[in-house]
Amino acid sequence: MQPGPDLTTGWRLLLWIGATLFLILTTSLEGREVVIKERQSRAVTNRLATIQAGRYEFIPLRPFAETLQLPYEVDSARKQFILQIPHNPVIVHAINPFIRVGAQWRQMPVAALIIDGEYYAPIDYFLDLIRTALPFVLEYDPAQATIWITKSARGVAAIQIDDMENGTLIRIGLDQPIQESNLFISESNGWLYADLYGGTIASFKPAAARKNTRTIDRISTIQLSRDTARLGFRLLKKVKEREVKVSASPPEIQIALRTHAEVPAALLDELDKEREKWKIDLIVIDPGHGGRDPGALGADGTREKDFTLKIAREIRNKIERDLKIKVIMTRDADRFIPLEERGNIANRAGGKLFISIHADSNPKKSLRGHTVYFMGPAKTEEARRVAQFENSVIKFEDANSKYANLSETSFILAANAQNSYNKESEEFAALLDRELKSRQAADGFGVRQAGFYVLHGTSMPNVLLETAFISNKADEKLLGSRAFHLGIADAVCASIKTFKERYESAF
């Protein structure tokens, strides 16, 4: 359903469509040049050519996002352009004046346009509406046709924690104000997390925090990415409710926690023992396909199942040799393993991380590179196509009726059921993607999500790696190279090392 409380009747929808078609017909490609500049250095980072439609000036969204290094996605089926800003995604609908910013719908006076596959939005209104979702300061001067960007990260300057009469107050001092929409608070496994998009921990050390509390006994700081800093607070008491305030003067985040009674020491000892169980001490590597299921076939008759087994063995050897972590494989020979049984193998063994290895295929022979998937509803047609192909393995199974009710909706529910691992799966997928890009000539397609039967029900962080395109002649040759296999193993091993350090430090 298209968004917008004012488009609930048919005649209003027709009115919007008619007005948009009029704008398209009266569009002049001879707009003007808008310059994007860094505020501190005054350097020009790009020049964008706008278009004029009626009395409105429109900015092209794809080069705008690429210049500001904002990840984006185009959903051609739904006619959507999506800025993938963590916790505040911006969804622009073509031929529709409503855009979604985070959880809120906001209205522009005129609809966004799509011309020859390029998305355009009215520059004045679009920039104003998305301003609070961005991790940096954006200012637009229409008279000078200049977009000013101030990208200095908000650094954590101080942390003070005090027990109050009705709970605990955490005060996080910053060197610059932050938008409340760029702050995300969550709880998991006895930890409270504050993620600052557009933030940095810089040189701040947890030992410098002032603590006068019996509610929090440890603080952890992690720079999750170039744009996101995470502060973790280990809780000794169960939080009943919390209240968050963000102030600009002084720039500060206040988190008020109302807690239950103090946790007995004996219970804390039990929690420490329980945390030992969550150490990443067993990795499950799943070589895709096998036996009567050859997987995708290359132009030269190569079989996906052969490549995935060779790559999986190199990954296992690298992990056991360099990280000293135990590894089990769902198959170590050319034999058929049902999809559900692969997850069962991992669960029975007590695996802590599940990595399924595959090689992609596409009718478009020019496509190259890797893609890392984690469990969730597919957001693009390509992701949905890949999942459908990998799930088609069930035709080789003796009893495939158990999959009959696993619709895409079922996968959404499954993803929600695995919620305690979804965030970790996404974080590991991002780490693996980064390591692969640093080692391969083809960047590939980054991180995506889709519904894969093999990930359904695995009780641990899990990803599916499409290592390369067997349908591409150059990639097919790489897949037959041991040097390429070793490069994949290096990337996986480096990702696990970083993930293990982050994941275990949170317990």
Q: Where exactly are the structural domains of the chain?
A: 10-150, 154-274, 282-505
Give, for 371, the enclosing helix (H) or strand (E).
strand 371-375
Strand 353-360 relative to strand 462-469, pairing: parallel
485 vs 277: which has the higher pLDDT:
485
Residue 507 has pLDDT above 90, yes or no: no
pLDDT at 18: 52
Q: Which CATH architecture has domain 154-274?
A: Sandwich (2.60)
Has residue 262 got a pLDDT over 70? no
Of all helices (H) and strands (E), which one includes residue 19?
Answer: helix 10-25
Provide, rounded to the nearest whole percent, the portion of the chain with pLDDT above 70. 80
The per-residue DSSP string of 50-110 comes to -EEETTEEEEEHHHHHHHTT--EEEETTTTEEEE--TT--EEEEBT-SEEEETTEEEE-SS
- Cα–Cα distance measured from residue 443 to residue 434, given in angstroms and rounded to the nearest whole number: 9
pLDDT of 174 above 50: yes
Q: Of residues 377 and 216, which shows the higher confidence score? A: 216
Quick check: 315 pLDDT over 50? yes
pLDDT, residue 335, reads 95
pLDDT digits (tens, 9 = 90+) for 358-412: 999 999 999 999 999 988 765 666 656 666 666 555 566 665 555 555 555 454 4
- Model confidence at 332, in pLDDT bands (50, 70, 90)? very high
Predicted confidence (pLDDT) per residue in 55-97, tens digit: 899 999 999 999 998 889 999 888 999 998 877 899 998 888 8
Mean pLDDT estimate for the chain: 83
User: Looking at per-residue confidence, does 473 or 28 come out higher?
Assistant: 473
The answer to whether the predicted template modeling score (pTM) of the entire model surpasses 0.75 is: no
- Provide the pLDDT for residue 348: 93
List, for residues 116-126, the tens digit of each pLDDT value.
Answer: 889 999 999 99
Between 319 and 418, name the one with better pLDDT.
319
Least confident of 19-28, 341-350, 439-448, 488-497: 19-28
**Would you state the pLDDT for residue 399?**
56
User: So what's the pLDDT on residue 256?
Assistant: 92
**10-150 fold:** Copper Amine Oxidase; Chain A, domain 1 (3.30.457)
Answer yes or no: is pLDDT of 13 > 70.
Answer: no
Q: Per-residue pLDDT for 22 more than 70?
A: no
Q: What is the mean pLDDT of residues 437-447?
A: 83
Q: Is the dihedral of CA 379, 384, 390, 393 positive or negative?
A: positive
Question: CB count, 10 Å around CB of 111?
Answer: 25
Number of alpha helices (DSSP H) and beta strands (DSSP E) in the chain: 11, 30
Q: What is the pLDDT of residue 339?
A: 85
pLDDT at position 389, please? Answer: 64
Cα–Cα distance between 199 and 222 in angstroms, integer?
Answer: 11
Q: Return the pLDDT at 25.
A: 47
- Dihedral sign from CA coordinates of 295, 296, 302, 306: negative
- Range with the lowest mean pLDDT among 300-309, 339-348, 468-477? 339-348
Please report which confidence band the pLDDT of residue 8 belongs to, taking 50, 70 and 90 as the band edges.
Answer: very low
What is the predicted pLDDT for the residue at 19? Answer: 52
**Considering only CA atoms, which of 265, 245, 263 is closest in space to residue 253?**
245
Name residue 48's beta-bridge partners: 34
Query: 282-505 has which fold?
Result: Aminopeptidase (3.40.630)
Residue that wins the pLDDT comparison between 76 and 9:
76
